Amino acid sequence: MGFLLVLFQAAGDRPDLVAKAEAYRARLMDLVPHHERSLRAASEKSERWAALFAEGLISRRDLEGARREREEAEARLEETRRQIRQSDDVIAETTLAEEVEKNLRAAQSETVIRFDGSAPWSLAKIARVESFFAEKFGYALPVSARGQTALHDRLGFEHHDAVDVALHPDSAEGRELMEYLRKAGFPFIAFRSAVQGSATGAHIHVGKASVKVAAAA
């Protein structure tokens, strides 16, 4: 079938997949305020206990425990936000699937930029992409989904050999990344947005298009 695989076995799968992804995203959004409160409380405790440790009133073990609590609270919040970004990516790819399929011969549209690529692609190749990006911009490639994730499993979405990058294709970093991928011959689909006038869901999907492989529970 070539690079641009049919994203879903039937067009009728798409509304159901979008609905499930949106419901999952809504549950995650409900968790954000709770995790933010937990992080604030853990940060305040860590600061208080640092002051107590400085006065010799608590042990280093107690201080390190408070710091771990803060780190764990921060990790829970960041993980929730990461899963929200993944949900946005899935919603964008699903919503724009029909447009992608209709433009098999078009390399670009207002919402989608597609490059088939000629070089063999596997998930291991992302290390080369990450090295390029870190050297070019001085920070790590902002990966929102590397290979198969719990969300993809939940939705029955094949993503084992792909990476989603949280960059808008029109940003300086996004343009540089796409140019690198073209020169390397690596396939990608860049999504500007699933909703006109909004950047929600904007990302660059590196690798072959995702496939709906099974009905999600």
pLDDT at residue 157 in the model: 73
pLDDT at residue 160 in the model: 83
In a domain, 2, yes or no: no
Provide the residue range defining the domain that includes 144.
13-212
Give the H or E element holding residue 16. helix 13-54
pLDDT at residue 14 in the model: 67
* Whole-angstrom distance, CA of residue 47 vs CA of residue 53: 10
Sequence-distant (6+) residues with CB within 8 A of 43 are 70, 73
In a domain, 5, yes or no: no
Instruction: Tell which residue, 140, 174, 152, 133, has the closest CA to residue 93.
Output: 152
pLDDT at residue 57 in the model: 93
pLDDT at residue 103 in the model: 54
Each residue's pLDDT, cut to its tens digit, for the chain (217 residues) gives 232 233 434 445 667 777 888 888 899 999 999 999 999 999 999 999 999 999 999 999 999 999 999 999 999 999 999 888 888 888 877 776 666 665 554 456 677 888 888 898 999 999 999 999 999 999 999 998 888 887 777 777 777 888 999 999 999 999 999 999 999 999 998 888 755 544 557 899 998 776 554 333 3
In a domain, 7, yes or no: no
pLDDT at residue 198 in the model: 47
In a domain, 8, yes or no: no
In a domain, 37, yes or no: yes
* Whole-angstrom distance, CA of residue 9 vs CA of residue 88: 21
CA 40 to chain centroid = 25
pLDDT at residue 1 in the model: 29
In a domain, 3, yes or no: no
pLDDT at residue 183 in the model: 94
Q: What is the pTM of this model?
A: 0.63
In a domain, 123, yes or no: yes
How many domains in the chain?
1
In a domain, 153, yes or no: yes
